[in-house]
Copies of this chain bind each other. A is one copy, B any other.
Amino acid sequence: MEHRISLITLGARDVDALAAFYDALGWVRTPSPDGVIAYDLIGQTLGLYPLDKLAEDMGLSVSDLGYGACTFGYNVRDKSEVAPLLQRAEAAGGRILKPAQDVFWGGHHGYFADPEGHIWEIAHNPFSPLREEDGAFRWLGYGGD
């Protein structure tokens, strides 16, 4: 098995409203003909899809599905970007779970939940700088390249 996640799908009770939230964060949709809202990332796509159809697709019921046991980290290049991004998420209808603050491991971060309950961490990790040209992340950073 190679190492990749091609598609992250967020189930949504209201796809249009959730897409409006991500639009408000500044994300730009990729043309998509079939009802899925798609945002291309770096070598992968974030998709928004109706929660009931997602459940049906998996052979589960909506009541089986929950939020938060996985989180999505968005790393930034500079510590000063964390708080404004959390504020932007709140202004767009998200909920700040943890305001921007220093972390014991030496970084700086905060969490928000999107309007459906999917949880994001906005983080600055000084030990794992993003790749300059495209913002790619890897665990031990691109600093040595």
Residues of A within 8 A of B (CB): 1-11, 25-28, 30-32, 34, 38-47, 51, 54-55, 57-60, 64-75, 85, 88, 97-98, 105, 111, 116-119, 121, 123, 130-131, 134-140
Number of this chain's copies in the complex: 2
A5 touches B72 (CB 8 A): yes
B59 touches A6 (CB 8 A): no
Please judge, given known A-B contacts A8-B8, A140-B30, whether A69 and B67 are in contact too, CB under 8 Å. Answer: yes
A74 touches B5 (CB 8 A): yes
Q: Closest approach, in angstroms, between the C-beta of A1 and any C-beta of chain B?
A: 4
A70 touches B10 (CB 8 A): yes
Q: Closest approach, in angstroms, between the C-beta of A42 and any C-beta of chain B?
A: 4
A43–B116 CA distance with the chains assembled, in angstroms: 26
A67–B3 CA distance with the chains assembled, in angstroms: 22
Q: Which residues of B contact A119 (CB under 8 A)?
A: 58
A5 touches B41 (CB 8 A): yes
Please judge, given known A-B contacts A59-B98, A65-B68, whether A123 and B5 are in contact too, CB under 8 Å. Answer: no
A65 touches B59 (CB 8 A): no
* Contact residue among B31, B32, B51, B68 (Cβ-Cβ distance under 8 Å from A60): B68
* Contact residue among B44, B70, B105 (Cβ-Cβ distance under 8 Å from A42): B44
A6 touches B75 (CB 8 A): yes
